[in-house]
Amino acid sequence: MSTPSISALPDGGLKNPGAGLITLDPVRTALLHGLDDLLTGLAARLAAPEVVGPPLLSVEGLTRLDYFRNFPHLGVAAGRFAPEEIDGLAAGESPAELPLRPTGHLLPSATCYGLLLSLEGRDVGDGGLRLSATGRCFRNETHYDGLRRLWGFHMREVLYLGTKQGSVEHLEQGADFVRELAGRLGLVLTRAAADDPFYDKGGSRARLMALDPVKHEFSAPDGTAIASVNRHRNFFGERLDIRAGSQGPAYSACVAFGVERWVHAMILAHDTPERALERLRDART
């Protein structure tokens, strides 16, 4: 007896479980994986080895990085049911009516935080260090909008720590890569300064940023930012005691890609997911 083929989705496709939550169908899934594979080209170009960051970030660590001063609205906390509530759950009580106990951890809102915290107290040497990772990130947003703004999404980052000049060169190479890849994929992107740097936006830092922007975004025609280049100066190096050999506190910079947003941009540019996937396949040959 032959095994029946299982390929077609039910009528209406896959349902989205809730606001900001999307289940990608097979075509969009192929787009996401194929795009992330192309995005690893920057890591290969810069010899940045692939790592896997932690799934949770400590509140204590994020506090030292001014996370809650800068992004008080974004944090998604991890909680657990208290041991005394377990019997009630097993007996069928509604989880929504039972309190959650704080764990002292948040879900990541950006991939690089876990990598930076993992380098606390380390010396990356005069030659510096690069790392690449794709993480599942989570943000508490005021609203959600398809693939443009999600509760949880994939973010690929290529992180550099080392000298001031090295961080500048890292971002220049990252920006060149974004433009090159956009051309191969048939995407028209605009670059503009953004106003949400990783470090303290208050006082003298805010005035300095107005004169010398530290974050630039690359956006699709509908305004969706799909990539960014972020110069942290030596903020993380000082806060986390990350040194660059004889150069002192390390300067850091990262190039970040919102992978689902690249899927959105591809569909926007090529009208349908199927045509977008065809263009992606052509770009990979």
pLDDT in tens, 25-69: 999 999 999 999 999 999 999 999 999 999 999 999 999 999 998
pTM of the model: 0.89
Q: Tokens for 162?
A: 């080392």
Per-residue confidence band for 85, with pLDDT thresholds at 50, 70 and 90: confident
pLDDT tens per residue, range 169-207: 999 999 999 999 999 999 999 999 986 655 555 544 444
Q: How far is CA 270 from the centre of its chain?
A: 24
pLDDT (tens digit per residue) in 218-245: 999 999 999 999 999 999 999 999 999 9
Is residue 97 over pLDDT 80? no
Q: What is the 3-state secondary structure (H, E, C) of 152-203?
A: EEEEEEEEEEECHHHHHHHHHHHHHHHHHHHHHHCCCCEEEECCCCCCCCCH
